[in-house]
Every structure is written in C-alpha cells, then in structure tokens.
Chain A
C-alpha cells in the first residue's frame, strides 16, 4: 500500500498489507496520539484494516514547531 506522510512535509512510503492502523503506525514509528489516519478522505480508527490496494494518509496534528 502507498502511505503518504504529512508530518507536516510530504513523504511517501510503501508498506505490505493487510495491516491494522495501529500496526501501521508502529512500523512507521509514529505516536497515534499525534496523527489522524485517513483513506480516500475517510477517517480511520486504530482497529481499522488497510489493504495492499489502499492509499493511506498519515496527517500530523502537532503544530507549533517542526523537527
């Protein structure tokens, strides 16, 4: 699956699916509390599953600074 990270700069990754969102964030080393995960504009929860054909967006919610 294609993962588009907006944290906040855009970056793309490829990951093998199917995966639960919680596992996907773990593999990306992203803290779930700081992001929203979406698929085609639909917001996902940590127990949702994403597949190989999906494009998943990981959008940072943390403002006030950049690493």
Chain B
C-alpha cells in the first residue's frame, strides 16, 4: 500500500476514506482533520484559554498534543481518582507528557480536595463506580474551568466513543440523552463550554498518531471498567466497520445532521430550566445538584463507619487551590 500524497510505503490506512499515508503525511492529515473540525463547529478561537481534560490515556494526550501544535494556549487538568496503582501510573504518564513540553498542568487529588477517593465514594453510596466517577469528573472539570476563567474545556472523546454512546441511546431509545449528543456544548451560566475536537477520528487513528509522535500515554484500562457495555457496542460497530468501512462516521454524522434537529424540535417545551444548586451554586435541574447529593450521602456513611471523624461535614468548596504545577 502506498501513501496517497508521496507514493512512499504507507504506514496507516484510513479505510473509511479509502486512503493510506506514510508516517509524515499521516501526522499532517490527522492534525488537519482536528483543525477542520474545530473550524467547522466554531469550537475554539485562537485567543481562547483552553482547559484540556487529561486522563493520561491516548485520546486526551493526543488531543493536548494537537491543540498545542495548532497554537492554542492550553492547560491540562488531571484528576487523581485514587484507584490504586492505576491512578498513580495515569498521573505519571500525564506529568511526563506535560513536563517534557513545559506545559502547565493542574492536578486535583480528590482525596485532598474532598477527603474521599472514587472507590470509597462508590462503596459508601453503594453506587456503580463508573457512575459516581463520571459525575464527579464532570463537576470538578467544570468547576475548575469556571473558577479559573477558561474559555472552553476540551475532551478527548473520539468517533468510537460518540458512535457507541449513540448506539446505546438508540437501542434503549434514551431520547433525553440523544438530544445532548453534539461535538460542542455551549457555555451557560456557571457552565463552561465543552468541545470534542477528536469526535470524527477513530480510536485506531488516534493510537496511530500517538505511536508515530512517540507520545507517552497509559495503555492499561481502569480495573473497574471490566465488562463495560460501551465495549460491547464498540466491538459490534467495529465488526460492521470492517465489512462496511465508513459506517461509524455516517451513523454519527448523519444522526447529528438529520435526526437530532428533528428530535430537538419535537420535544415538548424544549429544555428543562437550570437553576443554581442550593449547596454549591452550580447549575442543576433540582434543588440540590447530583454532585452535592452524592458526596453528602457518602459523608454521612463515612461518619457512621468512622472513615471520617464525627464532625466532618461535606463542603462543595474544595480544600485546595486549583493551581498549575511548575513544569519540571
């Protein structure tokens, strides 16, 4: 197979577009795809201060690298979830990447900020780990972005993530979730703008970019993710894709273009109004937001089980400042 640009031996095939590239032209193609998605959906302006949510995995590290190369002023945000050695290695990969390039990185350790780790939070509230983890990540990322005055939060969601979520929502006809599935979620009162610049690139294409750029990243998967439904949907879509290249992209893009607007228009009374949470002041549809409710409940059990001292009261304000680490 030959590179479509220079005719040298190809290293990466992009079957959904019937193209193949040598390493040099692949990197060029990849970065151009991200740039195009940003422009097409007006995700970011060149003057924006961008907070990149970085887990240490290939997607978020590749995203940070492309945004850096495109000239955006980026700061990384990494959450220490407290999942044993897995979290430790995630932090190491993230620090290594940021340190090698002298990029600012904010690390929020949940145990320092809120006195409990994600596994403790899940156990105390008897809820699924992925559910309390997702809830906490979304809240803290938004809070850092709002308090530190960032213009947007960029996340490493890719085509496989987005297409598999769409498939899951369609299989269960989750209409409320279906209308919230776009590459740009606009800013609202105390809700930072969120963008997904990699949403049209597959995981395979992102891995190829990470390997060719020799970026440090964490390859291992979270120990709590064993048997996740999303994986089943991704595998199913990849089997279809192998027989019929371009299906994943068409599934997502055509949905966003043709179906989502119809769904939006057909929903009764449009969006549910957001109000300020009584505890923390951040947006919620109820009186108290899900983050405050969940952590409050965890604190009650933590006091009973003497994991936290008897006088401990949950406070939504974190016990630390969100300041970037000094690059090594």
Cβ contacts A29-54/B at 8 Å (1 or 0 each): 00111111010011111111000000
Residues on A with beta carbons closer than 8 Å to the beta carbon of B15: 33
State A8–B222 Cα separation when bound (angstroms): 11
User: Is B10 an interface residue when CB atoms closer than 8 A count as contact?
Assistant: yes
Residues on A with beta carbons closer than 8 Å to the beta carbon of B1: 45-48
Nearest B residue to A33 via CB reads: B238
Question: From residue 291 to 326 of chain B, which have CB atoms closer than 8 A to chain A?
Answer: none
State A6–B241 Cα separation when bound (angstroms): 21
State A66–B15 Cα separation when bound (angstroms): 25
- A36 near B239 with CB under 8 A, answer no
- A65 near B226 with CB under 8 A, answer yes
User: Is B99 an interface residue when CB atoms closer than 8 A count as contact?
Assistant: no
User: Given that A34-B204, A64-B161, A64-B231 are contacting pairs, would A43 and B241 also be in contact in the complex, using a CB cutoff of 8 Å?
Assistant: no
Residues on A with beta carbons closer than 8 Å to the beta carbon of B207: 36, 59, 61
Residues on B with beta carbons closer than 8 Å to the beta carbon of A62: 160, 203, 231, 234-235, 238
- B219 near A64 with CB under 8 A, answer no
User: Given that A33-B238, A33-B242, A65-B225 are contacting pairs, would A43 and B211 also be in contact in the complex, using a CB cutoff of 8 Å?
Assistant: yes
Q: Separation in Å of the B15 CB from the closest CB of chain A?
A: 8
Residues on B with beta carbons closer than 8 Å to the beta carbon of A59: 207, 211, 219
Q: Separation in Å of the A54 CB from the closest CB of chain B?
A: 16
State A48–B9 Cα separation when bound (angstroms): 10
User: Is A13 an interface residue when CB atoms closer than 8 A count as contact?
Assistant: no
Q: Separation in Å of the B218 CB from the closest CB of chain A?
A: 10
- A67 near B227 with CB under 8 A, answer yes
State which of B161, B212, B238, B239 has its C-beta within 8 Å of the C-beta of A43: B212
User: Is B12 an interface residue when CB atoms closer than 8 A count as contact?
Assistant: yes
- A36 near B225 with CB under 8 A, answer no
Chain B interface bracket (under 10, 10 to 19, 20 to 34, 35 or more):
35 or more
Residues on A with beta carbons closer than 8 Å to the beta carbon of B221: 8, 63-66
State A62–B12 Cα separation when bound (angstroms): 17
- A34 near B211 with CB under 8 A, answer no
State A24–B181 Cα separation when bound (angstroms): 37
State A32–B235 Cα separation when bound (angstroms): 11
User: Is B146 an interface residue when CB atoms closer than 8 A count as contact?
Assistant: no
Residues on B with beta carbons closer than 8 Å to the beta carbon of A8: 219-221
Nearest A residue to B164 via CB reads: A64
- B203 near A34 with CB under 8 A, answer yes
State which of A9, A31, A66, A67 has its C-beta within 8 Å of the C-beta of B239: A31
Residues on A with beta carbons closer than 8 Å to the beta carbon of B206: 61
State which of B12, B59, B226 has its C-beta within 8 Å of the C-beta of A63: B59
Q: Separation in Å of the A22 CB from the closest CB of chain B?
A: 10
Nearest A residue to B241 via CB reads: A33
Cβ contacts B140-183/A at 8 Å (1 or 0 each): 00000000000000000000110000000000000000000000
Q: Separation in Å of the B78 CB from the closest CB of chain A?
A: 16
User: Is B13 an interface residue when CB atoms closer than 8 A count as contact?
Assistant: yes
Given contacts A36-B204, A62-B160, A64-B225, 18 further A-B contacts (CB under 8 A): A8-B219, A31-B238, A33-B241, A34-B204, A34-B238, A36-B207, A42-B11, A44-B11, A45-B11, A46-B1, A61-B206, A61-B207, A62-B238, A63-B57, A63-B59, A63-B221, A65-B225, A66-B221
Residues of chain A touching chain B, judged by Cβ–Cβ distance below 8 Å, are 6, 8-9, 31-36, 38, 41-48, 59, 61-67
